Amino acid sequence: MPAQPITVWRRITQFAFFALTGEWLWIGWVRCPYGIPFVSCPSCPLGDCPGRRLAYPFLGLLGVSAVLFGRGFCGWACPMGLVMDALGRLPKPKAVLQAGFARVDRVLKWLKWAAVAALFVFVVPINYPVERAYAYVVRTPSAFNLGAVDVARGLGSHIYLVRVAILVTVLVVGLVVSRVWCRYLCPLGGILSLFNKFSLFRIHKDAAACNNCGKYPRECIQYTCPETSDCVMCGECAQGCGQGAISLGPCFRSLPAGLRGTPEAQAAPPPGP
């Protein structure tokens, strides 16, 4: 079945932002000289990292995006979100959908608040003291030079090894559970989720038109429902709802009829848990 309008536009913006920030994402996970990456970029000595020039525009974009779309950045622009989406499209074991997965999922989603707390508790003592800030600085002509990654690994502290272990674990678990980083561990996603109730554009559900089929959260990439803090405003449910009960648009308006779901969309195969 051909991709529908919302999916097409979402993929375009995701790939565009990945092209812009993918190198920054790579360096942040595997070579950033700070214990906690992505938060000290303007003062970073690593000259080949694009984060030095992207950090302030990125923060401005996040602020505007949070006010307009809540957690929409996670669904439309985040480079890690695109990686998670790619892994999420792979077939998943049936067991993930069974045996109380929904109950486990509700509990695990609290972990992102622990990640938010950890970010604020540890970012100052780990990143900012001079004697700890530059744990390892490896300069190379190519950001993707694996030799530089190996040197960074040899020079890095235990914090660096923990960070790489988290990345590997997230990628492996992402083969089984869709968007595991975004749903359970991302501190930025947790912060942005606070804006979901106040953003100018939201996902709406018409309770009168909804037939409670259970398609969402079952087929949602975040395993959540519209109008929740975990919603990333991807809009897949708006075009996948066969009743036209879900819409994406301003907080006081519904999505135009041409972008609502169709019975054909409802028959599409599930993308995974």
**Whether pLDDT at 124 is above 70:** no
What is the percent of the chain where pLDDT is above 70? 77
14-44: pLDDT as tens digits: 999 999 999 999 888 888 878 788 888 887 8
203 - beta bridge partners?
Answer: 248
Model pLDDT, residue 20:
93
Q: What is the pTM of this model?
A: 0.80
Unique residue bearing structure tokens 């214990």: 35
